[in-house]
Amino acid sequence: MGTVDYQCPHRVAIPPSKPFLTSLALTMKETFFPDDPFRQFHGQPPARKLVLGLQYFIPILEWGPRYTFDSFKADLVAGITIASLAVPQGISYANLASLPPIIGLYSSFVPPLIYAMLGSSRDVAVGTVAVASLLISSMLGKEVSPIDHPRQYVQLVFTATFFSGVFQAALGFLRLGFIVDLLSHATIVGFMGGAATVVCLQQLKGILGLVHFTHETDLVSVLRSIFIQVHQWRWESGLLGCCFLFFLLLTKHFSKRKPAFFWINAMAPLASVVLGSVLVYLTHAEKHGVQVIGHLKKGLNPLTVTELTFGPPYLMTTIKTGIITGIIVLAEGIAVGRSFAMFKNYHIDGNKEMIAIGMMNIVGSFTSCYLTSGPFSRTAVNFNAGCKSAISNIVMAMAVMITLLFLTPLFYYTPLVVLSSIIITAMVGLIDYESAFHLWKLDKFDFVVCISSYVGVVFGSIEVGLVTAVALSMLRILIAIARPRTFALGNIPDSTIYRSVDQYPNAAKVPGVLILQIDAPIYFANSNYLRERIYRWIHEEMEDKLKATLQYVILDLSAVGSIDTSGITMLKEIKKNADRLGLKLVLANPRSEVIKKLDKSKFIESMGQEWIYLTVGEAVAACNFMLHSCKSDPQDSNV
């Protein structure tokens, strides 16, 4: 084997190997504490650390002392505004979840108080979520009928809420927030659109005044259920529904065009409820096919700790429901919080948010509340109303408390059809066809994920859609890992820069040298593929008789962040094969992870440190030097 006279300008450094535990601790920190939340604790006295720790876990202790009266005035207005939305929405969504309407009100009382203490967002308004409500009803309703066994059904819902809370808080404590990231933007767009479509279809039950209805959520079952009962359609109910729907959509449209009038949109649901109730009271429409809410119990949330059931028959169902709904509302809550924090330029800690949302659901499940989060619609109203802090949630909770204590009898005559109109209005905005179109333009695969999620939800079930979309997204990542791309590089004219000849058509290949760039970490999942692909590159290059005889193969490892033992075996095989073909293998820019392992596995020893260069440019310079000064040299190394 020829020794190299060529003086390599720079050496590739092999970083000193750290003790195992140090590097493990470092990896753990990068993996679980990327934002380094305990930075501020560093070097503080113990008392100060305790205060900082309390402030860390209970953010209200941090910002509370600085709270001003001016902020309170703003929060008061915002709180009353969202309360006027919370009451009708709470009742509507409870209806959607096949729960007694009063539970919707309970759910707007306790959780906001907990969130105000623990949450780190200043804008999130806590409340129940339409999609999760539907999901709860479709998943648990299959097991226990809410009509035949109402008490048992409610118990299951509380238990599922408890599991959601535990799961959410656990994700936060264990800093496993990245699980939420598995729901990609595309998945969420498709899923939300599908769920909104399904929820709207379900509301046809209320609009048409139907009493019996399917528990399935897919398009086909719902439409069949509607058209089978065509003779039970009530025109009075339908007419009322259409009027209110028109009114609500109109106010929404108006507020969107003139943001200053956001309060019209915020007040419209309550106005509809009042108007609808008065109308029914005056016309006694409840006797002509218009269903009403009926009697609502006065008083605050009863305790339900003892109602939680962990018995065997439904345990798995409640856990599954809890986890699925928990992760969905978590994703929405965190995404919403993050977006509004970005508007106002403050920071939200995802893991802390998870703990806050989890705690409010655990406490909620003990106090007659079902699953809550920070829904987009309510938060947007809160933001537009000028909220300054989580105090607006406390104001809303107080308003709901007053409603619960004194005003529930007023809802006796509220027609269900108004609630349906409120839900439809909220849902229409979630069918985000513009985003879907944007995905198509930008990334075809993301579009496929989005559409399959939509189709899965609308024609299959909510779970089917979700699982399909997540599986497809994961598959994409796995395929990208299993089939990394390799590029031939060429020289950019008038430089020592080497780039892909596909991307830069003016880049010129170097005669006698094949430069390949590998595009991903080398793992067991792709090492076989890479070997085959690299062999093919070499063979294609050697078969091409027009070109100069191939002498050097340079592997550019700039994009190879790490390598495992299968990958090292693969490199060794490529080296052997290259030797056999009379070629010299050269490595360019191995990164610290890679060079460490190549060193440990004696690969560097076997190929010679002098064949590893810091840049492709330097590697090519060395190869050219060898090619011209000692032409027969690489042939010597044939085995």
For a second copy, the binding residues in 427-446 under the rule CB under 8 A are 438-439, 441-446
Of 158, 244, 454, 523, the one binding a second copy by CB under 8 A: 523
Q: Measured at the alpha carbon of residue 243, what is the angle toward residues 238 and 244, in degrees to the nearest 5?
A: 100
**Gyration radius of the chain over CA positions:** 32
- Whose Cβ is closer to a second copy: residue 5's or residue 532's? 532
Q: What is the 3-state secondary structure (H, E, C) of 226-237?
A: HHHCHHHCCHHH
Does position 49 interact with a second copy (CB under 8 A)? The reply is no
Least distance in Å: CB of 2 to a second copy? 23
Q: Does 637 bind a second copy (CB under 8 A)?
A: no
505 is a contact residue toward a second copy (CB under 8 A):
yes
Q: Is 369 left (phi over 0), alpha (psi -120 to 50) or beta?
A: beta
Residue 601 vs residues 517, 572, 575, 588: alpha-carbon distances, Å: 22, 10, 14, 18
Residue 520 contacts a second copy per CB under 8 A = yes
Instruction: Return the exposure string of 392-414: e unless at least 16 CB atoms fall within 10 Å of the residue's CB, then b.
Output: bbbbbbbbbbebbeeebeebebb
CA distance 335 to 322: 20
Question: Shortest gap between Cβ of 22 and a second copy (angstroms)?
Answer: 13
| Calpha distance 148→420 (Å, rounded) | 23
Q: Interaction with a second copy in 575-604: which residues (CB under 8 A)?
A: 576-577, 580, 589, 591-592, 595, 597, 600-601
The answer to the question of residue 42 lying near a second copy (CB under 8 A) is no
Site for a second copy contains 568 (CB under 8 A): yes
Is residue 333 involved in binding a second copy (CB under 8 A)?
no
Nearest C-alpha neighbor of 113 from the set 364, 404, 393, 402: 393
**In this chain, which stretch among 106-114, 252-260, 355-363, 555-563 interacts with a second copy, using CB under 8 A?**
555-563
Residue 178 binding a second copy, by CB under 8 A: yes
Sign of the Cα pseudo-torsion (611, 612, 616, 621, in order): negative
By beta-carbon proximity to a second copy, the closer residue of 50 and 479 is: 479
Contact 368, 104 (CB under 8 A): no
Distances (CA, A) of 106 to 79, 152, 333, 404, 447: 16, 18, 19, 8, 39
**629 contributes a contact to a second copy by CB under 8 A:** no
By CB under 8 A, the count of residues binding a second copy is 90
Complex with a second copy: residue 358 or 521, whichever CB lies closer: 521
Cα atoms found within 13 Å of the Cα of residue 191, Cβ hemisphere only: 26
Q: Does 545 bind a second copy (CB under 8 A)?
A: no
Residues 439-498 that bind a second copy (CB under 8 A): 439, 441-446, 473-474, 476-485, 492, 494-495, 497
Residue 274 CA to residue 252 CA, distance in Å, equals 18
Closest by CA to 365, choosing from 168, 167, 163, 172, is 163
Given a contact cutoff of 8 angstroms between Cβ atoms, the answer to whether 613 and 587 are in contact is yes
Site residues (CB under 8 A) for a second copy, limited to 336-395: 342, 345, 347, 350
Of the pair 246, 346, the CB lying nearest a second copy is at 346
- One-letter identity of residue 243: C
Q: Give yes or no for residue 68 binding a second copy (CB under 8 A).
A: no
| Residue nearer to a second copy on the CB measure, 317 or 566 | 566
Q: Which letter does DSSP use for residue 486 in this model? A: E
Considering the complex, state which of residue 24 and residue 405 has its C-beta at the smaller distance from a second copy.
Answer: 24
Q: For a second copy, which stretch binds (CB under 8 A), given 47-55, 70-78, 185-193, 379-387?
A: 185-193
| Residue choice 429, 529, 610, 625 for contact with a second copy (CB under 8 A) | 529
Report, in Å, the least distance between residue 560 CB and a second copy: 8
407 is an interface residue for a second copy by CB under 8 A: no
